[in-house]
Structure 1
Amino acid sequence: MNRFTIHQRLLMGFGLLLLQLLLIAGMAVYSMGDTSKRLGTINEDIAPQVEAANKMAQSVGQALSAVGNIGIVTGPEDVDREFSSLKAAYKNYESNASQLMKMASSADTVALLKRLDTSYQAASAYYREVLAKIGPTGTAEVAAVIIRLEVRSNQATWAKAQAQWQQDMRALQDNLAQLIETQQLAARSQNQSGLVALAIAVVVAVLFGIGATWLITRSIRHPLQLALERSEHLAEGDLRVAIHSTAHDEIAQVLGSMESMRQRWRATVTDLRDASRNIHIASTEISSGNNDLASRTERMSSELHRAAHEIDELIATLREGMRTAQEARQEAAAAADVAARGADVVSGVVRTMQDIEQSSKKIEAIISVIDGIAFQTNILALNAAVEAARAGEQGRGFAVVATEVRTLASRSAEAAKEIKHLIGSSVEKVDSGTALVQNAGQTMAELQRAVTNVSQLIQTVADNSIQQESRAGLVSEAVGDLDDVTQKNAALVEEVAATSESLQQQTQRLNGLVDFFKVEGGGNSPLALTLR
C-alpha cells in the first residue's frame, strides 16, 4: 500500500466503491426491468385475453338467459326482445372469440378455445339454424313456438350442450387466471431474487468499504504517528534519531524533508558546540594571561615607586653636593657609592621597562587572538542564523541562540579593539620611558666618572651638579609618567580580566543552550526510525 500515494489510494478506494455502486445499480435496474417485463406481459398480453374471455362469458350468460326467456315469455314484444338479445349475444361471443384466438399466446389457451368453439357450436347450432330460417321476414312468435317444441322434446340434450359450453367457458377463464397467477409468481420470485442479490451485493460492498477504509486509514495513520513522534523529538532538541523511509507517499516526502532538516541542524549544532568550546578555552587562556599580567604590573608598579624614591634621594644628594661642593672630596666616596647605586637602580628600571614592553606585546598578541575568535564566532553565528531562517518556524529557537552568540562575539570584538588601542598607547609610552631611563643611565655613568675625578674637577662637578639636578627632575617626571602608565595598565588589565570573565560566563551560557540539542557523540548513541 505504501507504494502508492495517498491520492492514488483514495482514488482506488472510492473508485472501487463507485464501481460496486454501479454494479448494484445495474443489478437493480436489471431486476426491475425483468419484473416490469413480466408485469407488462400480464397487462399487455394476458389482461386483454382475460377481458375478451369475460366478455365471452357475459355473452354465454346472455345467450342462455335469452334462450330460457324465449321458452317463457308470450308477448310479441318480449319474444322480439329476447331474440334480439340472443342474436347480439351470439354476435358478441363470436367477435370476442375471434379476437381471443388472435391474442392467445399459450398452447393450452388455444386448445381450450378450440374446445370451447366446439361446445359453442353444439350448444347454439339449433338456435342459430332457427334464427337463420326465420330470417328478417319471419315472425318471432313462430320461432318461439318451434324452439319451445324442440327444447321440450330434447330437453336433456340441450341442457347437456349448454352445460358443456358453460364448463368450457369456465375452463378458459381458469386457464387465463392461472396464466396471470403464474406470471405474478414469476415476477414475485424474480423480485425476491433481485432483492437477495442486491442485499448480498450491498453487504459485500459494505465489507469491502470497511476493509478499504481500514487499510487506507492504517496506511495513513502509521506514517502520521511516526511524523508526530519525530516532531516531538525535534521539539525536545533530540537530533540523534534518523528516519529511513521506503514509502513513496506524501507523508514519506515530509519525513524525508524532516530528515534533511535534522541532518543540517545536527551539523550546525555540532559546529557551534565545537566553536563555543574553543571560545571557552580561549577565554580561559586569556583570563590566565590577564592574571599573570596583573601580577607583573603590580611588581612593575612597586619597582617604579622604588625608582622614584631613589631618584628623589639622588636629587637631594645633588642639591647637597652643590651646597657642599667644597666638601666634595670628603664626600666623593659617598657620592661615588650613591652614583653606583643610582646606576643599578636605572639599570633595574631599564630592565623593568623592557619587561613591560614584552608583556604589552604579549597582551597585544592575545587581544589579536580574541579578535580573530570573535570574528570566527560572528561568522558561525551568521551561518547559524541563515540555517535557522531556512528552517522556518522550527528554527526560531535556534535563531535566538545564533543572535545571542553574534551579540557576544560583537562585544568581544569591541572589547578586544579597545584593549588593543590602550595597549598600543601604553607601548608607545613605555618606549618613551625606556629612552628616558636609558638617558638617565648614561647620566649616572657620567656622574660616576665625574665623582671619580672629583678631586680635580670640583668646580666642574658643581656645574654638572646643576645640570644633573635638572636632568634628575626630568627623570623624576619620566618615572612619574611611567607610574601613571603602569596604573592605567593595571586598570586595563582589570577591565580585560572582567571582560574575559564575562566572556567565560557567556560561553558557559552558550554551551548550556547548545547542550539542549542532543547529537551523536558524548555518550549519545544514534537511533533510527524506519517507515515501511
Structure 2
Amino acid sequence: MFRNLSIARKLVIAFAMLITASVISSLSVYSNLKKIEASAAANDNSIVVAEAGKAMMAAVLEQQNAVRGFVVASGKGDFLAAFRRHRDTFEDAVDRFKHHTKMPDQADRAERLRGMVHEWQALQQRKIAADTASGFQVLVAADQNDLNAVRKLSAEMLAIQEKVIADRRADQVSTGHGAIVSLIVGEFLALLIALLMGWVLTRSIARPVQSLSGAMRSLADGKLDVAVAGEGRRDEIGDMASTVLVFQRTAVEKRRADTEQRDAVDAVAGGLGALAASDLTASLSGLPAGYRKLEDDFNAAVAALSRAMGAVARGADAIRTGSEEISTASGDLSQRTEQQAASLAESAAALDEVTVSVRDSAAGAARANVIVTQAREEAERSGAVVRDTIEAMAAIERSSKEIGEIIGLIDGIAFQTNLLALNAGVEAARAGDAGKGFAVVAAEVRALAQRAADAANDVKARVGSSEQQVAHGARFVRETGDALDRIARHVGDISGVVATIATSTEQQSSSLAQVNIAVAEMDGVTQQNAAMVEESNAATRSLAGEADALARQVAAFTLPPTDEHPARITGWRPALAA
C-alpha cells in the first residue's frame, strides 16, 4: 500500500512520524522539567522554613545574652531594648516558619516552641525585675533547663526540615535523570524512525528513479529490449514507467517502420534506376505489407510499359516490312497502305495504354509521397512523446527541490533547538548548584540538535545528488528528442525525392502523349499516300526511314522475352532482404 502512495504523501508520512516522535520526546522532557521546577520551588520554601527555624533559635540566644548583659553590665537600657527587639524577631521567625511550612506537625512544633520560649521569657522578665547578681544566680538553674528543652525542640525541627530538603534534592536528581533518559530515548526513536523512513523512501523512490533513468539511457543508446520496472505502481513512478514504456514501444515501432521504409525506398529506387536505364524487365518483390500496393502498382506499370514498347517494336518491324514490300511492289501500294494504317491505329491505341499506365505510375508515386509524409508525422508524434517525458523529468526535479526546502526547514529547527539549549545552559549556570542537572540536560539537547543538523545536511546533499542525476536524465531525453527531429527532417528529404519521382513520371506521360500525336499524324500521312499513288515510291522510302529510326529507338529498351520478340539483354530484377 505504501509503495502505491504518491511521493508527496510518502514524504508527509515520513516527516509526520519524525515530528511525532520529537514531540513525544519533548513532552516527556517538559513534564520532567516541570517536576524539577515544582521540586525546586518546594525545596526553596523548605530552605526558607529552615532559615526561619535557625532565626528563632538565634533570637532566643540573643535575648539570653541581652538579659545577662542587663544584669551584669552598667548600660542597662541598651540591653533591655535588645531583649525586646530580639523577642519581636523571634515572634516574626515563628510566624514565618508556620506560614511557609507545608507540614502540620512542624507547625505544631513551632507553636510548642513558642510556648516554651514564652515561659522562658517570663523567667527572663523576673531576672530583669530582680536586677541583682544574686537574683541572677537564683534563676540561672531554671534558665538553663528551659533553654536545653528549647534547643532540643529546635534541633528536632531543623533536623526534620533538613531531611525534607535532602529528600527533595534527591527527588530533583532522580527527576533530572528521568528527563535525560526520556530525551535520549525520544531522540533515539526519532533517529531510528528517520533511518527507517530514509531506507523506505530510498527503496520506494530513489531506486525506481535510478532504474527508470538507466532504462531511459539504454533507450537513448538504441537498446530497445531493456526491461522497464515500476509499470504496475499507482504513483508518479508508475506514471513515469508507463511513459517510458510508451516511448519504448513507439521507438520499436519506429525502428520497424524505418526498416520497412528503407527497404521499400531502396527497392523503388532500384526499379526506377532500371527504368532509367531502359530496362523494362525490372520488377519488385518481397516488399513489406504496408508497401504491397506500391509493389503491385510498380509491377503493373512496368508490365504495361513493357507491353506498349513491345507493341511499338512489333509495329516498327511491320512498318519496315511494309516499306520493303512497297518498294518491290508498287502495285500493292494501296493494300499495303491500308495495312500500314491499321498498324498505326494499333500503335496509337497501344500508346494510349502506355500513357494511361504512366499516369498510373505517377499516381502511385504520389501515394508513396503520402506514405512518406505519414512516416514523418509519426516521427513528429514520437518527438511529442519525448517532450512529455522531459516535462515529467522536470516535475521530478521540482519535487527534489521541495524535499531540499523541507530538509532546510528541519536544519533550521535543529539550529533553533541548539540555541534554546544554549540559553538553557546559561540559565542553569546562573542557578549554581541547583541548575547543574539542568545544564547537563541542556548540553545533551545541544549535542542531539547538532547531530540532527548534521543528518539533515547529509540528507540535503543526497537529495542534491539525486537532482543532478535527474538533470542528466532530462538531458538524455532532450538529446533523444533532437535525434527524432533529425529523423523527421530526413523523412522530409525522402518525401522530396519521391515527389521528384512523381514529377518525372508526369513528364514521361506528357512525352508519350506527344508520341501518340506523332503516330496520329503518321496515320494521316498514310491516308494521303493512299490517295497519291504517284508519290508512293518517295513516300515509301520516307516511311522506311521513319520505321528504321523507330526501330532504333525501341531497340534501346530491354524487353522481357516473348515468342514474338525475344529479349535483347538480360533484364534486371531487384532482390529484397526478407
Category of TM-score, reference length = shorter chain: 0.5 to 0.7
Whether 2:290 is the aligned partner of 1:293: answer: no
Q: Which whole-Å CA distance do the structure 2 matches of 1:257 and 1:122 have between them?
A: 103
- Which of 535, 538, 544 aligns to 1:467? It is 535
What residue ranges of structure 1 are gaps of 5+ in the alignment? 135-142, 318-333, 448-462, 491-500, 512-521, 523-532
Q: Which whole-Å CA distance do the structure 2 matches of 1:91 and 1:368 have between them?
A: 132
Deviation at 1:272, TM superposition (A): 4.6
- For residues 142-170 of structure 1, what are the alpha-carbon distances to aligned partners after superposition, in whole Å with 9 as ceiling and x for unaligned? x321xx32442454443333233234333
Whether 2:182 is the aligned partner of 1:197: answer: yes
Deviation at 1:196, TM superposition (A): 1.5
Deviation at 1:191, TM superposition (A): 1.8
- Residue matched to 2:218: 233
- Residue matched to 2:368: 373
- Residue matched to 1:127: 124
- Residue matched to 2:3: 2
Q: Which whole-Å CA distance do the structure 1 matches of 2:176 and 2:535 have between them?
A: 143
Whether 2:246 is the aligned partner of 1:260: answer: yes
Deviation at 1:349, TM superposition (A): 9.1
The correspondence of residues 103-114 of structure 1 with structure 2, limited to 5 A, is 103-114=100-111
- For residues 317-343 of structure 1, what are the alpha-carbon distances to aligned partners after superposition, in whole Å with 9 as ceiling and x for unaligned? 7xxxxxxxxxxxxxxxx7679999x99
Q: Which whole-Å CA distance do the structure 2 matches of 1:261 and 1:298 have between them?
A: 53
Residues 3, 247 of structure 1: 8 Å contact kept: yes
Residues 280, 557 of structure 2: 8 Å contact kept: no
Q: Which whole-Å CA distance do the structure 2 matches of 1:71 and 1:23 have between them?
A: 71
Whether 2:164 is the aligned partner of 1:179: answer: yes
- Residue matched to 2:72: 72
Residues 360, 423 of structure 1: 8 Å contact kept: yes
Deviation at 1:58, TM superposition (A): 2.4
- Residue matched to 1:429: 515
- For residues 361-389 of structure 1, what are the alpha-carbon distances to aligned partners after superposition, in whole Å with 9 as ceiling and x for unaligned? 65555454334323332333334334434
The correspondence of residues 26-425 of structure 1 with structure 2, limited to 5 A, is 26-43=27-44, 45-73=45-73, 75=74, 78-117=75-114, 119-121=116-118, 123-131=120-128, 134=129, 143-145=130-132, 148-153=133-138, 155-240=140-225, 241=227, 245-287=231-273, 292-293=279-280, 357=351, 365-392=360-387, 393=478, 394-425=480-511
* Secondary structure at the counterpart of residue 21 of structure 1: helix
Q: Which whole-Å CA distance do the structure 2 matches of 1:271 and 1:41 have between them?
A: 90
Q: Which whole-Å CA distance do the structure 2 matches of 1:120 and 1:481 have between them?
A: 164
CA 1:35–1:159: 2 relative to 1, 3 Å: same
Residues 119, 168 of structure 1: 8 Å contact kept: no
- Higher deviation after alignment, 475-484 or 46-55: 475-484
Q: Which amino acid aligns with 1:292?
A: D
* Secondary structure at the counterpart of residue 245 of structure 1: coil
Q: Which amino acid aligns with 2:249?
A: Q
Q: Which whole-Å CA distance do the structure 1 matches of 2:180 and 2:188 have between them?
A: 12
Residues 279, 557 of structure 2: 8 Å contact kept: no
Residues 426, 489 of structure 1: 8 Å contact kept: no
Q: Which whole-Å CA distance do the structure 2 matches of 1:371 and 1:92 have between them?
A: 125
* Secondary structure at the counterpart of residue 293 of structure 1: coil
Residues 28, 198 of structure 1: 8 Å contact kept: yes
Deviation at 1:307, TM superposition (A): 7.8
CA 1:467–1:95: 2 relative to 1, 3 Å: closer
CA 1:470–1:442: 2 relative to 1, 3 Å: same
Deviation at 1:419, TM superposition (A): 3.0
- Higher deviation after alignment, 34-43 or 121-130: 121-130
Deviation at 1:90, TM superposition (A): 2.7
Q: Which whole-Å CA distance do the structure 2 matches of 1:439 and 1:85 have between them?
A: 171
**TM-score (normalizing by structure 2):** 0.63
CA 1:128–1:101: 2 relative to 1, 3 Å: farther
Deviation at 1:417, TM superposition (A): 2.7
- For residues 450-476 of structure 1, what are the alpha-carbon distances to aligned partners after superposition, in whole Å with 9 as ceiling and x for unaligned? xxxxxxxxxxxxx95x61244236426
CA 1:430–1:484: 2 relative to 1, 3 Å: farther
Deviation at 1:477, TM superposition (A): 6.4
**TM-score (normalizing by structure 1):** 0.68
Q: Which whole-Å CA distance do the structure 2 matches of 1:230 and 1:390 have between them?
A: 16
Q: Which amino acid aligns with 1:56?
A: M
- Higher deviation after alignment, 477-486 or 15-24: 477-486
- Higher deviation after alignment, 276-285 or 61-70: 276-285
- Residue matched to 1:519: none
- For residues 258-285 of structure 1, what are the alpha-carbon distances to aligned partners after superposition, in whole Å with 9 as ceiling and x for unaligned? 2233334444544454444444444445
Q: Which whole-Å CA distance do the structure 1 matches of 2:499 and 2:95 have between them?
A: 124
Q: Which whole-Å CA distance do the structure 2 matches of 1:346 and 1:483 have between them?
A: 15
CA 1:91–1:408: 2 relative to 1, 3 Å: closer
Deviation at 1:65, TM superposition (A): 1.2
Q: Which amino acid aligns with 1:33?
A: K
* Secondary structure at the counterpart of residue 234 of structure 2: coil
The correspondence of residues 425-464 of structure 1 with structure 2, limited to 5 A, is 425-429=511-515, 432-433=518-519, 436=522
Residues 112, 171 of structure 1: 8 Å contact kept: no
Q: Which whole-Å CA distance do the structure 1 matches of 2:78 and 2:244 have between them?
A: 108
Q: Which whole-Å CA distance do the structure 1 matches of 2:371 and 2:538 have between them?
A: 54
Deviation at 1:228, TM superposition (A): 0.7
- Residue matched to 2:298: none
CA 1:221–1:360: 2 relative to 1, 3 Å: same
Deviation at 1:195, TM superposition (A): 1.7
Q: Which whole-Å CA distance do the structure 2 matches of 1:157 and 1:202 have between them?
A: 68
* Secondary structure at the counterpart of residue 84 of structure 1: helix
Q: Which whole-Å CA distance do the structure 2 matches of 1:248 and 1:157 have between them?
A: 99
* Secondary structure at the counterpart of residue 246 of structure 1: coil
Q: Which whole-Å CA distance do the structure 2 matches of 1:4 and 1:368 have between them?
A: 57
* Secondary structure at the counterpart of residue 105 of structure 1: coil
- Higher deviation after alignment, 432-441 or 300-309: 300-309
* Secondary structure at the counterpart of residue 176 of structure 2: helix
Residues 311, 350 of structure 2: 8 Å contact kept: no
